[in-house]
Amino acid sequence: MDIGIGLPSTIPGVPGGLIAEWAVTAERAGFSTLGTIDRVVYPNMETVPVMAAAAAVTERIGLTTAILIAPYRGNGGLLAKQLATVDVLSGGRLTVGIAVGGREDDFEATGSPFRERGRAFDRQLAELHAVWAQEPRGFAGAVGPAPAQAGGPPLLMGGTAAAAFRRMVEYGAGWIAGGGGPEAFAGGAEQARRAWRDAGRDGAPRLAALTYASLGADAEGHAHRYLTDYYGFLGDVAERIAAGALTSAEAVADTAAAFADAGCDELILFPCNPDPAQVGLLAEAAGL
């Protein structure tokens, strides 16, 4: 199983220069990918520019949106162009974890109809594929640039509703779990495999997951402060999310092993502490 690491771009107050330092350090440490989490109404950095910044200072490490929320980003043509640009800047290292989203305030802030997000997402997915296939859209031809990866960056669908797995087999390369432990992942992974087989897709879907981790001094404090703030809109559930963060090297190793046993192809460890020293601590805990 590959082990990736999240960028600290969702942690409030992170200076811009830290993103580049973190990305370079993570590549040297041997992580498989750099991840981002997506949100509008929060003091985080925006996903697509962060991916572009990370692409500019790295050469080999992957880039994964985990998970980009599409429907409040407007039309699929512009989103396709933005993601293709990151794919070109990175030399074909982009993977797009993508989902319909569930935070109503993000939709209100962008003037996007929350109740219609599923239909909007289906239209966007169709347009992403059409644009990346370089179908003509105007006088000058196709919307460019053409992505570095033929057919565009692979899409990993997020979500556990039936529609998520329908979209995965129609448009995606696999499925990504947006949270929960190894047991929850195993259930979703089985749904993904079954949907893949039932649709007659060749091979198997790529399966990915994310979890939160915080090591070193005041590990639990960093996890609690960040996660109860980020997930505060969920009420008491935020406390349970914070309590589930991995705050020891043993917990990181054991949880990674459990995800691997459940058939996970890549686990992304998202930080709760923006100190660059976390990169080395997590790499050592994960056995890189």
pLDDT digits (tens, 9 = 90+) for 192-249: 999 999 999 999 999 999 999 999 999 999 999 999 999 999 999 999 999 999 999 9
pLDDT at 198: 98
* Residue 190 pLDDT level (bands cut at 50, 70, 90): very high
Question: Could you give the number of structural domains in the chain?
Answer: 1
* Residue 56 pLDDT level (bands cut at 50, 70, 90): very high
Q: By the 8 A CB rule, do 23 and 7 touch? A: yes
* Residue 4 pLDDT level (bands cut at 50, 70, 90): very high
pLDDT at 119: 97
pLDDT digits (tens, 9 = 90+) for 73-84: 999 999 999 999
Pairing type for strands 266-271 and 206-213 reads parallel
pLDDT at 101: 96
CA proximity to 7, closest of 281, 280, 274, 288:
274
CA proximity to 12, closest of 221, 285, 274:
274
Taking the C-alpha atoms of residue 217 and residue 201, their distance in angstroms, rounded to an integer, is 47
Q: 46 - beta bridge partners?
A: none
Q: Which two tokens stand for residue 210?
A: 């994310």
pLDDT digits (tens, 9 = 90+) for 91-138: 999 999 999 999 999 999 999 999 999 999 999 999 999 999 999 999
Q: Which two tokens stand for residue 81?
A: 């162009």
- CATH number of domain containing 55: 3.20.20.30
Q: Which two tokens stand for residue 29?
A: 């440490």
Taking the C-alpha atoms of residue 152 and residue 134, their distance in angstroms, rounded to an integer, is 10
Range of the domain at 275: 2-285
pLDDT at 25: 98
Model pTM?
A: 0.97
Q: By the 8 A CB rule, do 20 and 57 touch? A: yes
